[in-house]
Amino acid sequence: MKKIKIDYRQCIGCRHCEVACSLFHVEGIINPRRSRIRVFTEGDFCFPVIAGPFTDAECNSRNVVVIEGEEYDGCLLCRASCPVKPVFKEPDTDIPLKCDFCGVPPDPQCVKWCPSDALTLVEDQE
């Protein structure tokens, strides 16, 4: 089984992955808001998040993630398409979006267009 490995230290925040995803999934249209991968920025920290499962409920607890001494809202790193975030949803219809690895066998376009090796496709060891 393959998986996409995200190395946020390599990410330069160019959002080319968003473009690649939306071009692949929505024929002939570029729209990062319809992409199943988004790059978020906090200060100089850029990190790609790939859309995961849909949930129709808000979390009733929150967590804080500490990365290199800085605290980040766990919400930021969460992959869920949920009611509190305006991301991973079709902008017009709110239909949730989820990464499908661009088909079978996996051929993720975001990995192909990532210029900085922040995204790589690796073999799952387990």
Contact between 79 and other proteins per CB under 8 A: no
List the Cα angle 56/49/47 in 5-degree steps.
140
Query: Of 105-124, which residues contact other proteins (CB under 8 A)?
Result: 112-113, 115-116
Candidate list 2, 7, 19, 121; residue touching other proteins; CB under 8 A: 19
Contact between 41 and other proteins per CB under 8 A: yes
> What is the biggest distance separating any 2 CA atoms in the chain, rounded to whole angstroms?
42
Q: How far, in Å, are 10, 11, 53, 55, 121 from residue 7 at the CA level? A: 6, 7, 21, 26, 11
CA terminus-to-terminus distance, the chain: 9
Return the amino acid letter for 77: L
Candidate list 26, 67, 95, 122; residue touching other proteins; CB under 8 A: 26
Closest approach, Cβ 91 to other proteins, in A, equals: 4
Query: Of 52-71, which residues contact other proteins (CB under 8 A)?
Result: none
Candidate list 2, 25, 79, 85; residue touching other proteins; CB under 8 A: 85
Peptide bond preceding 105 in cis form (omega within 30 of 0)? yes
Candidate list 6, 16, 81, 108; residue touching other proteins; CB under 8 A: 16
* Residues 81 and 57 sit within 8 Å (Cβ to Cβ): no
Give contact residues for other proteins (rule: CB under 8 A): 12-16, 19-20, 22-23, 26-34, 40-41, 43-46, 73, 84-87, 91-92, 112-113, 115-116
